[in-house]
A and B are shown apart, each in its own frame.
Chain A
Amino acid sequence: MAQSRGTLHHKQGPQNREDRVEVLQLLISGLANGCVYGLIALGFVLIYKATEAVNFAQGDFMMLGAFVTLGLVNPEYAGIPFWLALPLVFVIMGVLGYLLDIVVLRAVFGQSQVAVIIVTIALGFVIRFAVGEIWGHEPQSLRSPLALGDVRIGELVLGLADIAVIIVTVIMTFLLWQFFQRTKMGLAMQAASQNQMAAYYMGIPVKRIQGMVWALAGIVAAVAGILYASKGALDPTAGFIGIKAFAAAVIGGFGSLPGALLGGLIVGVIEPFASRYLPPGWSQIAPYALLIAVLLFRPHGLFAQVRAKKV
């Protein structure tokens, strides 16, 4: 009956189809970038929610995670098979995160927010310097099983790495979600971040939990780093995308984990479209323009989890 009309309208000219292929291509590479931003933003939010500190070294954490993987996997360094190296990377980054909390962050405990921010910014410098000293400042590429080259489907050219990045991020999100919903540790982390005082009252060892959150943020950063390095070259300044990820976290509503991921995706998608359709230079400022707009019109972020406390 009516379906014949639908198919009639579906026919489109070649010009239109090319456009759509291009849009799809931009969308997928944007989403893949956005996944990396989103995972870094997730690290920001995890630490912020649990400890009320903003870790401005999160981008550099990501870079460090990538370099640790590279150092273990690439044949010119340790040359361990990727899947064997992976758990090792997680352990190294997790322990590093935990130790940072215990050794560095706890030393500035009780100081103002500014002190914490400056410490983490300095930490970023230290990580960049250390990585440069160990692995050099030249761009390198990780022997990642996700770096798969391109595939052609008709006119559509897809980077398989982009697809893999999106899939891994989806899996990672699901695992994290399960962790927070189903495990005692995850529940305790939520509790400690929602109401630290009450968590103390419940006998939850809040400080240890906070250390575990830093460890988790280290692991998430490692995943983000591996994904980042699977998509292209890696050098010690890679951590600067942490600034974009920070914007993503704020856009999503600092303090909301799904918000951080969605914010990352939004920033990731905006960039390629802005550089394609807007005058040159706009793509660089687009994420920050959005950040300002969000702060002006929805200061709690797009996906905020704020609720007034009942008295």
Chain B
Amino acid sequence: MSDLLLEVRNLETFYGPIMAIRGVSLEVRKGRVVTVLGANGAGKTTLLKTISGIMDPEKGKIIFEGQEIQGWEPHRVVKAGVVHVPEGREVFPLLTVEENLALGAYTRSDKAEIARDRDLVFNYFPILAERRKQEAGTLSGGQQQMLAIGRGLMLRPKIMLLDEPSLGLSPLLTQEIFAILKRLNKDEGVTMMLVEQNAAVALDLADDGYVMELGRIVMSGTADRLAASEDIQSFYLGHDTEGARGERRWKRKKTWR
């Protein structure tokens, strides 16, 4: 079918003495949105950090556009086109919105193109244009998340790794940001790998999905198939199909155990 952009093969990463990722394999094809679902501590963030070079894997391969990138310095990975929008925004608090965006384009030098991409970001996030001279630390949480995504876009990513963009945001803001992500994917063709705890919005946006538990991939498939699966429904989407008493929920065993 369509071409493979990112492939992770049997990845193992340690967080100190703890094996946080225990042999993960997954694929992201060009133009798709792939989500990785999982609870706290499943190893999702570690997975993204390993891909973007912040952490080094013990074993396994990360292949991006046919090139092995595991163990590279982060700035090299970024240059190759892998952009990580970290959990909890992580903007530069004392710099203005404009300066934050300028730093997004740190690896680039084509001034005209940079200016065009900045207008693109302002087009998708008009509130950032309004606040362009404001220090990023004074923005609201949702605006900071928009800035973090916008700053990531300034790098012209071939793939965007999004770590919990809904973290700490109201349901309404989450909807808004995911709608923009959808447009970015459809209109600009940005490939995305999305890590989320909020499975409902993530599966709605994604084309394909993986479920991670305790460092392993336990389930994978198209987003529709995952959303329809009983396990996902009861453990991640919180649909209670078992009746009013709901005691079945904790009695049930997950089928992959």
Contacts and interface: CB of A to CB of B under 8 A. Distances in A.
Contacts of A197: 54, 86, 90
B13 to A, nearest CB: 16
How many of chain A's residues touch chain B, expressed as a range?
20 to 34
Given A191-B103, A203-B74, A307-B138, 11 more contacts: A191-B106, A194-B95, A195-B90, A198-B90, A198-B92, A199-B103, A201-B52, A201-B86, A201-B152, A206-B75, A307-B93
Contacts of B73: 205
B137 A187 contact: no
B55 to A, nearest CB: 11
A310 B52 CA distance: 24
16 contacts: A187-B95, A187-B102, A194-B95, A195-B93, A197-B86, A200-B54, A200-B75, A201-B83, A202-B106, A203-B75, A203-B78, A203-B79, A204-B106, A205-B75, A307-B137, A311-B141
Contacts of A311: 88, 141, 168
A168 interface: no
A201 B74 contact: yes
B103 A204 contact: yes
Contacts of A310: 89, 137, 139-141, 144
Contacts of B106: 184, 188, 191, 202-204
A305 interface: yes
Contact of B74 (A187, A194, A200, A307): A200
Contacts of A309: 93, 137
B91 interface: yes
Interface string A286-311: 00000000000000000001010111
Contact of B103 (A187, A205, A206, A305): A187
Nearest to B155: A203
A204 B75 CA distance: 6
B104 interface: yes
B210 to A, nearest CB: 22
Interface centre among A184, A195, A202, by most B CB within 10 Å? A202
Interface of A: 184, 187-188, 190-191, 194-195, 197-206, 305, 307, 309-311
Interface residues of B, number: 35
A2 B142 CA distance: 57
A309 B102 CA distance: 21
Residue of A198, A199, A311 with most partner-chain B CB within 10 A: A198
B4 interface: no
A156 to B, nearest CB: 41
Contact of A202 (B104, B141, B168): B104
A199 B75 CA distance: 9
Nearest to B138: A307
Interface string B210-222: 0000000000000
A201 B89 CA distance: 11
Nearest to B148: A198
B86 A190 contact: no
A307 B141 CA distance: 14
Contacts of A206: 75
A187 B52 contact: no
B99 interface: yes
B115 interface: no
B40 interface: no
A191 B54 CA distance: 17
Interface string B36-79: 00000000000000001010000000000000000001110011
A201 B74 CA distance: 7
